[in-house]
Structure 1
Amino acid sequence: MATDALRAQVAAKWQESFNRLNRSEPGITGLMSFSEAWNIAIEALRPKDLSISPTDTTSSLQRWNAVKPSKQQVRNAFALVNQCRKLPHLLEVFLEEMRKKQPLITREVIMYMESYESTNDVQIVTKLIGRLVEWYEAWMPNPELGLGPIPTTTYTASFHTFLFSILPPTFSAGFKALVETTIRSPPHTFSHLWPIFESLGLIDRYETLIASVGYEFIEAHVKETCQQRWGQPLLPQLRTWMADTVVPWMLSPYARGAKNVDEAKVMMQGVGSRFDFHMHKTLCDLRTSEIFGIIVDYPDSTGALQDLKECMNRVDQRSDLVHALRQTNKRRLLHPGADTKDILAQYVSTIKCLRVIDPPGVLLYKVADPIRRYLRERPDTIRCIVASLVGDGESGDSLVDDNEPIQPLQQPDVENYTDPEWNPEPIDAGPDFRANKPSDVISTLVSIYDSKDLFIKELQVLLAQRLLAVTDGNYDRERRNVEILKIRFGEPALQVCEVMLKDMDDSRRTDQHVQSQKTSDMHPTIISRHFWPTLETSDLKMPGQFKALQERYAKEYSVFKPDKYLKWLPNLGRVHLELELEDRTVDADVPPLEAAFIELFSEKDVWAVDDLMSKVGTVPRSAALKALGTWVDLHVLTEDSEGVFRLLNVTEDTGARAPVPRPGAEEELPSIMSVQQQQAEQMKVYWKFVEGMLTNLGALSLDRIQTMLKIAPGYDRTIEQLAGFMEAARREGHVSVKDGMWKLAR
């Protein structure tokens, strides 16, 4: 039961409300005035059905039109309702009426979107948005009624909430297509749409989508205008395009309401920075994906490198560039199908390109490490580098730039903290960055290996081959190469090369003296055995007149230098022959083995391969067949049956006879054992030591084997050379390795 006090309180509240609504007028006159004002306000705010045709009216609408109040009466009605503090209740009734009429809008949205989904016509989306703004403006409380901003704000929020709840998922795609048309057209063409978008809340709702349109537009333009165009920097052109095309479009969605240029700049500062960043990022991504081709095309791709350097400073995608280049190198470069010379050329271009992008060399250090490790494992890497050093780049792809000054090999930089120009390491530098800081290209290539001694020995091998291949006695080119190499490696390292050059001069003078005493058709090259690389030997014995020539020359030489004797290497050199046959004369310049075989055919016309081989000493059967094939190809011999050859004193019709393939016409350099071959031969001497260790002590680590081998007489190999030797032994099945422990194979 309610208490008397509660009853009194409720009665007082009712009396207070009645007085406020009646406004203390006699009777209920004021209450009747409020009721009339309330009805007028309700009718003024009632949402209208825009889908009703002009001829379709209802009785309530007829009554409203019949007694339609004037604007002043409507304003007075709203003022009375507000005076009675019933405006919030009136707004609630209005929002409820709007909620009841919302199916009218929903029906039209469904109709338009079904049409768009079937046609993908962006004009339908434009019509839908125009229709929605008609509903929005028709239902909005008239600001002339003096209601203040709260009803308008509340209505807008409610309308937007309802609108976004009924728009289907496909609307975002249609709206995006519509925004795309605005950015691809002149700015004034669709300028009227942006105020509509703002009134419906579409700009705030789809802010990310609108930005994505700008991003995609920038991406498409960058790829279209910059892809595979590396010759000139394109960033200035892109910035001009951004200012002329993208910025005017950005004014409508991002600088709406700006009263002057300064306000527009302030409003677009954040989004403009993001768009500019995206332009740089897109170009950086494009150049990163093209970096392998850019390096291949260097120096014609310098413009792209300059753009990439500037983009890197803006977006900092250094790690992405390193990852992309390492992956591309692994897929396209560091595999058995790539020629070592091509790998070295790409490495040199990589050095030059990454120095443009990153002068401190951090990127180069990270990218070059896999290339250097792979080149270190290739057996012909040293030879390719050395061939370039001595100017053996007749093909035009030399690793050495003729415009670069010749300078000594540079040693790794030593940290000098007292240098006033000292700078700390870059933040992304590796722990060994200072020790491997890049210098000139040649020093970088030589630093692939721990010691330059390998290069010196390979230089000696290559110089020996080139000297022995000279037939005109002109060694000026080789002398020039040695002088250049002295600058790079120092004079002490090239002393052996100086001896080889001196040997060639002494050999020519010796031959001139011998020829002056007794003329001979033989002109041998006489070298010092202890100062030349190991020459490949064979058991070839020259028959007939060649043997006689050797003996006569050796006799004259011993007269000239009685304290020395000649040891012939008949497998080396060239022999110029003039063959006199019954119907023709054949001139040929051939290796000694071919000359030895054709000399034997002067004894008889038919020989079997085995018989020929027995006459010239121990030679491989494949080499013998190749030598005979040379004469078959010259139509001097013919193969009557397998392994049986006959001299053609008279030319036969050989049109139907398939000639034996002859060797290439280019002359090969004299056979000299490479540095790797020499080291392998020398390491075989120590195999017995290794075999004894593994037999007596069981599995051993590489470090333990190296330590024990140092006791062996004359052992001076590095642990890397030992590792290569053990790996070769593993491939041949002599040893096996597991977890770094080597043991004899069972």
Structure 2
Amino acid sequence: MTHNGLRYQVATKWQDSFRRFNQREPGISGLIAFSQAWDTATEFLKPRNINEPLPPRQYTQAVRVALDVIHKSKRLPTLIETFLSQVESLFYLIQQEVDQYMIEYTSDLDVGIISRMVYRIHEWMKQWTPATELGTAFQSVYINFFQTHLFSILPGGFSSAFKDLIASTLAPEEEGEALKQDHQIWFTFDALGLNDRFESLIASVGYEHIERHVLESCTGQWGEPMLTPTRDWMTAKIVPWMLHVYGRNATSTEEARAMLAGVGSRFDFHMAKTLCDLRTSEIFDIIIDFPDSMGALQDLKECLQRVDQRAALVQSLRQAHRKRLLHPGADTKLILSQYVATIKCLRIVDPPGVLLFKVADPIRRYLRDRPDTIRSIVANLVGDDDSGDALVDESEPPRPLQAADIEDYSDPNWEPEPIDAGPDFRANKPSDIISTLVSIYDSKDFFVKELQILLAQRLLAAGDDQSDKVEKERRNIEILKIRFGEAALQVCEVMLKDMTDSKRIDQHIQSQKASVIHPAIISKHFWPALESSEILMPGQLKELQDQYTAEFTKFKPDKRLRWLTHLGTVDVELELEDRVVEALVSPLEAAVIELFSEQSEWTLDDIAKRVGLSQTNILSKAVDTWLDLGVLASAGEGVYRVLEVSVSKGAEAKDHVHRPTTVEMEMPPVASVQQQQAEQMRVYWKFIEGMLTNLGALSLDRIQTMLKFAPGYDRTITQLAGFMEAARREDLVTVRDGMWKLNK
């Protein structure tokens, strides 16, 4: 039963196929006609070797009838398969030519060879393309088949060669590349499927061309914005090229614009990214060159809105700061200047301040650890910075120090924080430069104390004719009151008042008994601690001091005058046998030369005993001053004598008067903030020593908590840790597992 059924099915199908091929003709005449039509169609479609001279192929009536017969017989798919098999069998001819062209290109590296190869492959493709009368479906199958086999025979080096060919279409005209105006080749690429196959490679050629132009034209050009000129260049050079690549089939301007919209946006994005990467790599030097680099900052601001490179900018700038700025070889003034320039530049690039917050944190921490940061900032505030680079714009009016911003959610213009802002961003965003610099430290008290020290030095160094300088300092203090408040600068007001009172007291004493001494009389408790000295003034210098003290006591019987003999200057006139020497020297130098009025020869040890100074190195510098002026001469090891007659000029130097020689004076030695803090911490050492003696080993937190009960203690735990570490280096204490104890 099974075999009979199968035989019946086979017989039925055979009869159906026979009737279809026979076209219901009598006998086998229809089958013979189909066979003839098949031969005619296959002969017409058979691919030819274009290297052989053959007559052109013609679509005749016989071919049309044959194809119609095959179509009615439903054998057209078989005909297509047969045709494609014939094409495949002759594809070795194309491969041979491709290999030959690639060998020539490898030898000459001439992109014209690749161009000729492409056109040659296209000739093969056109020669084998079925007639249009066969329908688009037939041609579509053939094109896909041809392209697939073409990609399979292309050698590995074709991608690089094809990229060079594409690059030649973008080459400047002056370079004389072979295909700079050959637009037809793009249609050939499209016909062979190369545009779709190598789409990313073609785009990379455009990207690289843009990158070269940006690097060549924009590197180091910071004065003017370069983004708009670069876009104009792209419109003139890149867009026409893009039109051939991506919009060659457009029939109107609007259609071309629509076709280029997406790809044009990608090219513009790449241009912005390239310029952004360039400006990111140059950002440190751009900041140094500010404000002459305003154009580059505007470019960077616009590019960051187009390209998400904010994290790369922060990383690049922080890395540049670590390498070029935040190291011991950089001067504090330079770091501050660069920090201020960074603030100004990043506020232009990113007005909300997120980038500045992330970049500034390492600079602020580094400056906080530098001992002279406060002094540099304060010196700039009061106009004592002679570097020529002011941290504060003089045209900017002084404003009070600004506290951290407080969120006002009822403000209709309130905006949420940027998405890349950190948790502490809003609390650290003062708007003006001075507030930003002061916010480096936790309290403004450090700056106020440094202001007092600097003011004391400047007032004490003012000299006899000090009215103008004192008034200048008074104006500075009035300006600083606006920033720090009047209460914070009350001590400075007392210091200025002391200078005014000192002049008034000196005028009164001079009216009672004229003296060549004009001291600056200050209040001990309102001035910063001055370094003490044990210098004893000999001879007439001592007499002048005693006379002035007596007159002062008569005028101020409730006050006591204590001389700081190491401060100030003395204008001396020395009468020698052949000359007169005038010089402005320090009190110690005046005391040294005064001793030689008693005897003409002194040893260094004897001089030290008379002036009460144990530091022989300081005393040697004072003696060297008179050696340099030719007043003293060495008479042996540590022995000096007066030169009454100049050795160099002899008798000719008689009655000759030397012009005054001004010896550069150092600023009065006022103890710095750090020195004052260290001295105060030594007072608290007694408390710490008592704790560790009575309670044993203690943690730093426990010591800090107990010290808060000490009168006047206001140090942070970080400052306490620094002091304890210094005590450990002096072997006063030891630490183990965070527990401090006395070193027995």
Taking structure 2 as the reference length, the TM-score comes to 0.92
Q: Is 2:375 aligned against 1:386?
A: no
Are residue 473 (structure 1) and residue 471 (structure 2) matched? no
Aligned ranges for residues 25-174 of structure 1 at < 5 Å? 25-52=25-52, 54=53, 71-143=60-132, 146-174=133-161
CA distance in 1, matches of 2:718, 2:631: 52
Amino acid in the other structure paired with 1:73: A
Contact 1:601/1:647 (<8 A) preserved:
yes
Equivalent in the alignment of 2:552? 557
Match of 1:374 in 2: 366
Partner of 1:15: 15
Partners of 1:725 and 1:607 in 2: how far apart?
Answer: 45
Q: Quote the Cα distance in structure 2 between the aligned partners of 1:437 and 1:199.
A: 61
Q: For residues 185 and 58 of structure 2, what CA distance do their matches in structure 1 show?
A: 35
CA distance in structure 2 between the partners assigned to 1:263 and 1:664 by the alignment? 85
Instruction: State yes or no: 1:682 paired with 2:680.
Output: yes
Match of 2:610 in 1: 615
- Relative distance call for 1:610 and 1:355 in structure 2 (3 A) is same
Q: Is the 8 A contact 2:211 2:274 kept in 1?
A: yes
CA deviation digits over 1:316-371, x for unaligned, max 9? 32222222222211221111111111111111111111211222222222221111
CA 1:122–1:680: 2 relative to 1, 3 Å: same
Q: How big is the shift at 1:699?
A: 4.9
Could you say if the C-alpha distance between residues 544 and 373 of structure 1 is closer, same or farther in structure 2, counting changes exceeding 3 Å?
Answer: same
Question: Deviation at 1:692?
Answer: 4.2
Question: Does 2:701 correspond to 1:703?
Answer: yes
- Counterpart contact for 2:458–2:667, Cα < 8 Å: yes
Partner of 1:411: 403
| 1:51/1:104 contact within 8 Å kept | no
Instruction: Give SS of 2:384's match.
Output: coil
Deviation (angstroms), 1:616: 1.2
Question: Aligned partners of 2:662 and 2:204: how far apart in 1?
Answer: 63
Question: Structure 1 420/86 Cα, relative in aligned 2: closer, same or farther at 3 Å?
Answer: closer
Task: Give 1:433-512 correspondences, 5 Å limit.
Answer: 433-471=425-463, 472-474=465-467, 475-512=470-507
Q: Secondary structure at the match of 2:403?
A: coil
- Distance of 1:625 and 1:702 partners within structure 2: 46
Measure the CA separation in 2 of the matches of 1:287 and 1:665: 50
- Structure 1 residues 110 and 692: alpha-carbon distance in aligned structure 2, compared to 1, 3 A threshold: farther
> For residue 573 of structure 2, what is the aligned residue in structure 1?
578
Q: Distance in 2 between matches of 1:24 and 1:86?
A: 16
CA distance in 2, matches of 1:185, 1:398: 48
Cα distance, 1:394 vs structure 2: 3.6
Counterpart for residue 276 of structure 2: 284
The separation in 1 between residues aligned to 2:647 and 2:180, in whole angstroms, is 91
Alpha-carbon distance in structure 1 between the residues aligned to 2:264 and 2:135: 36
SS at match of 2:427: helix
8 A contact 1:227–1:286 mirrored in 2: yes
Residues 115 and 733 of structure 1: CA distance in aligned 2, closer, same or farther (over 3 Å) = farther
CA distance in 2, matches of 1:202, 1:114: 20
- CA displacement at 1:250 relative to structure 2: 0.8
Matched, 1:233 2:225: yes
- Kindly indicate whether the alpha-carbon contact (under 8 Å) linking 1:613 and 1:624 is maintained by their aligned counterparts in 2: yes
The residue aligned with 1:530 is 525
Structure 1 distance, partners of 2:729, 2:302, is 49
Query: 2:653 maps to what in 1?
Result: none
2:562 to 564, 567, 570: 567
The aligned runs of 1:254-403 (5 Å cut-off) are 254-403=246-395
Aligned-partner SS, 1:183 = coil
Aligned to 1:660: none
Q: Provide the rounded CA distance (Å) in 1 between the counterparts of 2:188 and 2:603.
A: 101
Comparing 8-17 and 213-222, the one that deviates more? 8-17
Once the two structures are superposed, residues 270-304 of structure 1 have per-residue CA deviations (whole angstroms, 9 ceiling, x without a partner) of: 11111111111111111111111121122222222
Q: Give 2:592's aligned residue.
A: 597
CA distance in structure 2 between the aligned counterparts of 1:125 and 1:605, rounded to whole angstroms: 102
Matched, 1:517 2:512: yes
Give the Cα separation in 1 of the matches to 2:346 and 2:737.
37
Q: Secondary structure at the match of 1:393?
A: coil
Amino acid of the structure 2 residue aligned with 1:159: F
Q: Secondary structure at the match of 2:581?
A: strand
Structure 1 residues 33, 718: CA separation in 2 closer, same or farther (over 3 Å shift)? same
Alpha-carbon deviation of 1:202? 0.7
Q: Is the 8 A contact 1:41 1:74 kept in 2?
A: yes
Q: 1:664 to 1:363 in 2, by over 3 A?
A: farther
The aligned residue for residue 58 of structure 1 is none
Cα distance in 2 for residues equivalent to 1:116 and 1:505: 93
Per-residue deviation at 1:579? 2.1
| 8 A contact 1:540–1:619 mirrored in 2 | no
Contact 1:361 1:438 in 2 (8 A): no
What is the deviation of 1:554? 1.2
* CA distance in 2 between partners of 1:219 and 1:417 (Å): 45
The alignment's TM-score, normalised by the length of structure 1, stands at: 0.92
Question: Counterparts of 1:305 and 1:326 in 2: how far apart (Å)?
Answer: 17
CA drift of 1:571 comes to 0.7
Where in structure 2 are the equivalents of 1:623-638 lying within 5 Å?
A: 623-638=618-633
* Off by >6 Å, runs of 4+ in structure 1: none
Equivalent AA in structure 2 for residue 45 of structure 1: L
Q: Name the SS for the 1:403 alignment partner.
A: coil
Q: Which residue of 2 aligns with 1:57?
A: none
* Letter of the structure 1 residue corresponding to residue 356 of structure 2: L
**2:4 paired with 1:4:** yes
Letter in 2 for 1:172: S
Structure 2 CA distance for partners of 1:695 and 1:285, relative to 1, 3 Å: farther
CA distance in 1, matches of 2:109, 2:638: 81
Cα RMSD over matched residues?
Answer: 2.4
**DSSP 3-state at the match of 1:586:** strand
Contact 2:171-2:180 at 8 Å conserved across structures: no
Equivalent pair of 2:169/2:180 in contact (CA under 8 Å)? no
Q: Which moved more, 1:455-464 or 1:468-477?
A: 468-477
CA distance in 1, matches of 2:289, 2:729: 39
Aligned-residue offset at 1:212:
0.9
Q: Distance in 1 between matches of 2:329 and 2:694?
A: 42
Residues 392 and 434 in structure 2, CA contact (< 8 A), matched pair in contact too? yes
The 8 Å contact of residues 460 and 668 in structure 2, kept in 1 or not, is answered as yes
Structure-1 residue corresponding to 2:723: 725
Match of 1:659 in 2: none
Q: CA, structure 1 residues 256+741, in 2 after alignment: closer, same or farther (shift >3 Å)?
A: farther
The answer to whether the 8 A contact 2:538-2:595 is kept is yes
May I ask how many residue pairs the two structures share in their alignment? Answer: 725
* CA 190–703 in structure 1, closer or farther in 2 if over 3 Å, else same: farther
Q: What code does the residue aligned with 1:625 have?
A: S
Range 542-551 or range 718-727, more displaced: 718-727
2:174 pairs with 1:176: no
Partners of 1:77 and 1:134 in 2: how far apart?
Answer: 27
Question: How far apart are 1:401 and its partner, in Å?
Answer: 0.9
**Residue identity matched to 1:400:** V
Q: CA deviation at 1:484?
A: 0.5
The aligned amino acid for 2:194 is L
